[in-house]
A and B are shown apart, each in its own frame.
Chain A
């Protein structure tokens, strides 16, 4: 069972502002989901090699080389934020 305090802590880690009412709601809902997920304990994972598990895919590698991005696309991407002297402007950190 996740308490409201724990929910606030998780929201803190995830940088989400939530209200008291939301914390209470999420405490109920996340607890229900986690208790449903607990059935994974019934799975026998002794045969699974933790090093090579998951997708049976192969790695595809390429040279690490710089490719120039389209000038117009780059400028259009930068225009979405607040720009000051050619740099993206952020709020005061301190």
Chain B
């Protein structure tokens, strides 16, 4: 087995007992990136020199007897998280040469924990998309089948873990962007509860749903990374410290809800089969699995595609080419400079979302679009609350089908939006959710999604780990 194929837990044991060094582990990852990244395009920027230096420091600490869950563990971060030493482009032409003045809080925490940053991963421009086809630097290919997409927007992060470029990666999830690519690439993708992980240093997209989370090879590793990155941060007013009081006590007697709206929309036989198998296994283990209704879940996508563009049109107003980022070279006056900088710097989907949001927020339309969407969002949140009065968790598919072919949906933005049909709900309600690989994956992987109660992230991870064990 190659070192880069190890899980965090496996590598931890070998590092702590000096069977391997952090430098060997880092070199194995860098080698894997060198070998296959040209075809996959999962990594946009590699920082070998810094990584090797950090690995040597980690080895020194290990020899001194220091220990920690991520000490000496190499990882990759989505290129929308600010990093001091490496460029942060958000896969946009407008930030093509941008170097952040400070590290995002998650990057800082990982650095303090001794994790080794290998580089930055590809994404849909500013995380706008579900296939990484919206990246200004080219699409990321699915490691399981290179004619297929890796999903998005954290497609580079998911593909990198699936291709063993790193031991884990960081992604961001605004309406499914960690879970959907994890499903397509056959890895674990965890979106924590809104507020549990600081977003300081994450380029804002939709401030009311943006969350940072880990993409890993198994659930146990996701829990290890989450433990390090979570917590209150004075720089993010929405972050908070949560002490979870409810523990996971095993599958027996657990009440799991199956939203019938998720099933009635499933046409793909493979996805159905994987879900049925999971239900059967859970029942065998003593869990109670019952059908429930989330009557307003059908409004998830329409709500999401009003609220998200609205927040984007506001958040992306800061990109004016002045003080940072790429500015137009041709403009003569300030007015012209703004228009040219933004017109040339943003890609098609980003412009589409900015305009949609500008329209939804403009005078005369605010009530009928934005206010209405926020009201329906309340109904969606209430649906979840009611289900969680009687159930511990919600189980469903992550994606309606396996990874689609590159180019298959690029001409129809609406079809692309519908890719997120099962994942937007948890985002709009701020709930923790995880995608784990379903068993029986024939050629292309498909994920199962578990949604937990707000702030019960560790409990959700414990259930996901138990489910992963019985699915094998």
Contact = CB atoms under 8 A, between A and B. Distances in A.
A73 B102 contact: yes
A16 B339 contact: yes
Contacts of B99: 76, 80
A70 B84 CA distance: 13
B378 A54 contact: yes
A60 B240 contact: yes
B305 interface: yes
A18 B375 contact: no
Contacts of B137: none
Contacts, number: 149
Interface string B327-370: 00001111011111011101000011011101100100000010
Nearest to A55: B430
Contacts of B369: 37
Contact of B333 (A15, A48, A91): A91
Contacts of B313: 14
A54 B296 CA distance: 14
Nearest to B358: A14
Contacts of A93: 333-334
B379 A16 contact: no
B306 A37 contact: yes
Contacts of A36: 301-302, 305, 414
A36 to B, nearest CB: 6
Given A16-B343, A17-B343, A70-B102, A10 B358 contact: yes
Contacts of B225: none
Nearest to A56: B381
B37 interface: no
B262 interface: no
Interface in B296-311: 296, 298-299, 301-303, 305-306
A80 B317 CA distance: 18
Given A29-B352, A30-B356, A33-B305, A77 B342 contact: no
B7 interface: no
B102 A26 contact: no
B371 interface: yes
A55 to B, nearest CB: 6
B101 interface: yes
Nearest to A28: B413
Contact of B359 (A30, A40, A48, A54): A30
Interface residues of B, number: 65
B323 A54 contact: no
A81 B323 contact: yes
B296 A43 contact: yes
A84 to B, nearest CB: 12
Contacts of A37: 302, 305-306, 369, 373
A15 B351 CA distance: 10
Contacts of A47: 379
Given A70-B102, A91-B334, A26 B302 contact: no
Interface string A28-53: 01101110110111011101101001
A91 B237 CA distance: 34
A50 B355 contact: no
Contacts of A70: 102
Nearest to A53: B378
A79 to B, nearest CB: 8
B376 interface: yes
A84 B376 CA distance: 50
Interface in A43-94: 43-45, 47-48, 50, 53-57, 60, 62, 70, 73-74, 76-78, 80-81, 88, 90-94
A92 B323 CA distance: 15
A45 B352 CA distance: 28
A50 B371 contact: yes
B296 to A, nearest CB: 7
23 contacts: A14-B342, A14-B354, A14-B355, A15-B339, A16-B346, A18-B343, A26-B355, A33-B356, A33-B417, A34-B359, A36-B305, A37-B306, A45-B378, A48-B379, A50-B375, A54-B374, A54-B381, A55-B194, A55-B430, A60-B240, A73-B101, A73-B102, A78-B323
Report, nearest first, the 6 A-B pairs whose CB atoms are least far apart: A17-B343, A81-B323, A80-B324, A77-B101, A17-B339, A45-B375
Interface of B: 98-99, 101-102, 194-195, 208, 234, 237-238, 240, 296, 298-299, 301-303, 305-306, 313, 317, 320, 322-325, 331-334, 336-340, 342-344, 346, 351-352, 354-356, 358-359, 362, 369, 371-379, 381, 385, 413-414, 417, 429-430, 454
Interface of A: 2, 7, 10-11, 13-18, 22, 26, 29-30, 32-34, 36-37, 39-41, 43-45, 47-48, 50, 53-57, 60, 62, 70, 73-74, 76-78, 80-81, 88, 90-94
